[in-house]
Structure 1
């Protein structure tokens, strides 16, 4: 049976249709985030601006997936989403520690590098747009390899990362469902090279905000359509395949924000099939315990020890 004539797909399409909003939502949100972070930035306001922008985007994402769910069953309810909310709360102090350590070590490295080369390595005189694009590429590089190694490992790296892939549905709060070790390492690797290279504060702030926004939207249960932008961003149309249960599909699209490193290293993959006809999650669901405490303690079922 042709996919477009499949009754289940047609039923889902009718319920998930967002019309032209499917094409405009992502660029509009990105423009809003970039403009807000650029025109409002000040070092003294950073601690206030970050949560304000984050919760504004989360409110938009939540409204989109409730009004026009890509897959209605993925939204769940409060009881089903509660564990992800706890992961979000746990992540905040972990991220703060990772960023503080990355900042401290990065400043030391920046001082050493600038004295070694007699000038800063970052093109601070370049246009702000070019600096943001370059910084996003730097921001994604080390986490790309950490993420890729986590998938290619059959040991503890995958055991830690599998917590993020265990859910069989995707919605906006999924993006914070990471073990604290995973959150710490990714955040540290994102920020350290930016500080070490001497990237200006406003650029780092814009990159951090767009990174968090992109991560949330790439998991949001709304039918984002990017068209040619799928060759620039690692957004929902690509990232949903990364959560497929079939690891031949999931071991691709590792980049956090821009898809550049996946293109360069041959790991970008966007099948023609409909992801709604593919199961999400991991092959061995029993390898990730249901209990939040057991997940945090990285306990493995007795049969897998």
Structure 2
């Protein structure tokens, strides 16, 4: 798969914050607005900000219209989705991404814009990667006040096109090697929900990233079995595991934790399984550029990730 790289931002560019799933009001988004403005960006809020239709940021028609308008507007260079939850699946098959292609909807040459988010936004990432676009897996603007500076700087580096290096300990004593491949993936539950659809990104010769929150351990195993049976764990370059946060169990224990489940279902493969990558539903959430090549260097003491 040859991915069409998003154009990185520069000072003066316009970023839109909007909802594709759960609702968000403008006031809690103001810290994100101030941050982006301090980086020299222009910020606007979509029409879905402040709207409520039950738990959603407006009806599905309103959310679709808001997202589509931001996709089609050549002045908007990036879209940061305000909040996750549930709801992007209601829109995904109706979104027209043709404006991101070389000949846009208005016949104007356009460049792929940056779409930022995670969790429920994994569905949008999957659609983009399946069509050959890159995108940005990062925390939501509503979460900004809970994020350490290192996470915030990781987002800035990614959207402005600056290289970033993330280093973690090689606690599993994985053998020394260097590998390079594009990264795809996101939230495990959303990846699982995309099986059999045209929204599922290519995984062969890719690094697959997964993370999860608030799931029962038996369901982690069910989802991993489903990916394996569908062939989505075959021929990976690596499996990258982020936060597996707040896992649940029953009174009678399942008998394995999330790490053990993942290791047992990847034991047949010869690619590395890398745990504790700092991304997902965790405080220190670093940014990944999905569809972009990552270099992983494993030494006896550390694992270094470069994008």
Choose between structure 1 and 2: higher helix proportion: 1
Higher relative contact order (CA 8 A, sep 6+): 1
Query: How high is the TM-score relative to the length of structure 2?
Result: 0.25
Structure with greater strand share of residues: 2
TM-score, scaled relative to structure 1: 0.26
